[in-house]
Amino acid sequence: MSWREILNIVLHKLPYLLFVSLPFFALLLKVLYYRRKEFYFADHGIFTVHHYVVSFIMLLLVFLWNKLHGLTDWWFWNLLIIASVFAIPIYLYKAMRRFYGQSRWKTMLKFLLLNISAFILITLLFVAFFIFSVFNL
């Protein structure tokens, strides 16, 4: 079995990885906002689904801009790609600030902790899915 086939299998399991990561991301939010008793786990879960949907729409736009850049070779598409990629974390910060209603500094600190924790979580899930995919061949 070649690395290309293994990579193809892992990439096809990527939607499952993101689906599995949803409750873990909501759990990270629950831990970050454990003092806020008015938010239940379901509230964090709905916020997580909202964030994932916005991220997928922005990534869809990135793929669209990239395809249009390949067809036309205009520099303008690169600018839209960069703006779309940077819009995802900016939107998450703004959404956290509005939804949880905390100060800028608290939200920024929790935003950074959330992103670091989520990166570690996604990395661990990716390794688990990779190992599962290799042994599932």
Residue 73 is predicted with a pLDDT of: 84
Residue 120 is predicted with a pLDDT of: 96
Q: What is the pTM of this model?
A: 0.86
From residue 24, alpha-carbon distances to 63, 81, 82, 97, 113 in Å are: 27, 29, 28, 20, 14
User: Structure tokens of 11?
Assistant: 């990439």
What value does the CA radius of gyration of the chain take, rounded to a whole number of Å? 18
For the chain, list residues with pLDDT below 70.
1, 137
Residue 137 is predicted with a pLDDT of: 62
Residue 54 is predicted with a pLDDT of: 95
Q: The domain containing residue 109 runs over which residues?
A: 3-135
Residue 1 is predicted with a pLDDT of: 65
Beta carbons within 10 angstroms of residue 55's beta carbon:
16
Query: Domain tally for the chain?
Result: 1
